[in-house]
Each structure stands twice: as C-alpha cells, then as structure tokens.
A and B are shown apart, each in its own frame.
Chain A
Amino acid sequence: SQTIHQWPATLVQPVGSPLSLECTVEGTSNPNLYWYRQAAGRGLQLLFYSVGIGQISSEVPQNLSASRPQDRQFILSSKKLLLSDSGFYLCAWSPRTIEAFFGQGTRLTVV
C-alpha cells in the first residue's frame, strides 16, 4: 500500500534562517506531488505542485521554493525565513485524477 512521510512534525526557526521540509511517498510511481500551507484558522493554499522529476509549478509567488530530485521525493525550501512563513505545511500526493493523500503535516513557527 501507498504511504506518505513528511518531516519534521514541528519546527521552530528564527527569522532569516533556511528551511528544508521533506516529503517522500512509498508504494507508487510517478505521482503528482503537492505542497500546501494552512495559516491559522484558514484554508489550504496551494504553494507548489509537481507532475514529474524536476517539474515544479508555483501557484503563489513567495519566499519559498520546491524541488523534486527523485520521483517520490518533494522538498520545500527557503533561503531566509520570514515571520509570515509560519503556518502548517502539508505535503500530498495523487495518483492522477483521483483524490489526494496527505502527510501528517509540519507546524512551522518562525520566531
């Protein structure tokens, strides 16, 4: 069966520090991969999605970037975090035209 791993679960980072959140999927190949951000009490904002290795689509211009170095690995990064980057980050995968399956999420607090 397919599983998705996202880590870390919680992260506290100072302003100006770098960020790297990792997401990996097991049990499937060539999935669509997604990064979402959920601010406190808000909905899910699609940040990036990827349909293949090295193929990244950005939905919202911001201080973040994403990479997909391997088929089942999706990384969310930042060179310098801002206070506004705080939030709950969710990774998801989809076997195409079917529902998305979500990781457990990372709660990021920038201080």
Chain B
Amino acid sequence: AQTVTQSQPEMSVQEAETVTLSCTYDTSESDYYLFWYKQPPSRQMILVIRQEAYKQQNATENRFSVNFQKAAKSFSLKISDSQLGDAAMYFCAYLSGYALNFGKGTSLLVTP
C-alpha cells in the first residue's frame, strides 16, 4: 500500500497568522490525486483541497493553498489568515486507482 506521512502530530497558530502543514507520500505511480481533509470535533470529514498529480499548478481554495513538489513527493497545506474555526485535525490523503490512503493527521490549534 502507498504510504502517507504527516510528521507533525500537533501544530499551533495564532489567529490571523499563517501556518503550513507538511505531508510526504511514497509512490511509484505517475498518475494520482492528493487531498487535504479537515476533521473538526464533530468528526465529519470535510474536503479542504485537491491536487491532481498531472497538474503543475498548485491548487488554491480561498485561504487554503498547497505546495505540491512532485519530484520530492511532498504536498504541504498552507492556511493563511487563520481563523478559530480552522482548529481541527487535518489529514493528507493519496488516491491512485481505487485505494484512498490517509496520513495519521495533524492536530491544529488556533489561539486568539
């Protein structure tokens, strides 16, 4: 199975500041998809952003953007202008073919 590694179990950011969450993955595939999901205390999984591996341009969704480095197999998430509502577990995920595999998650704390 493909592996997804999130090396930061916990991160903290002050409101209105910027934070970057790291993710690396291991694959021999050339065609795949990468995702960041958010899991608030309700435990509902919410898609934050998606990146297709064949696209060189980094995906952006409002305050959320990614830095996709295909050669380095790195997929980091940048949250700008952090808000209290951004506090949650963030999971990086990899999809190639059928299996969607997740990292262990990063717990993001947002302080006022």
Contact = CB atoms under 8 A, between A and B. Distances in A.
Interface of A: 32, 34, 36, 38, 42-44, 46, 49, 51, 57, 59, 88, 90, 92, 94, 97-102, 104-105
Interface of B: 1, 6, 33, 35, 43-45, 47, 50, 91, 93, 95, 98-105
B99 A99 contact: no
B100 A46 contact: yes
B45 A59 contact: no
Contacts of B91: 43-44
A92 B100 CA distance: 10
A59 B95 contact: no
8 contacts: A49-B100, A51-B98, A59-B99, A88-B43, A90-B45, A94-B100, A99-B50, A104-B44
Given A43-B91, A44-B91, A100 B44 contact: no
B77 to A, nearest CB: 15
B102 A46 contact: yes
A75 to B, nearest CB: 18
B47 A99 contact: yes
A46 B95 CA distance: 12
B45 A102 contact: yes
A46 B35 CA distance: 15
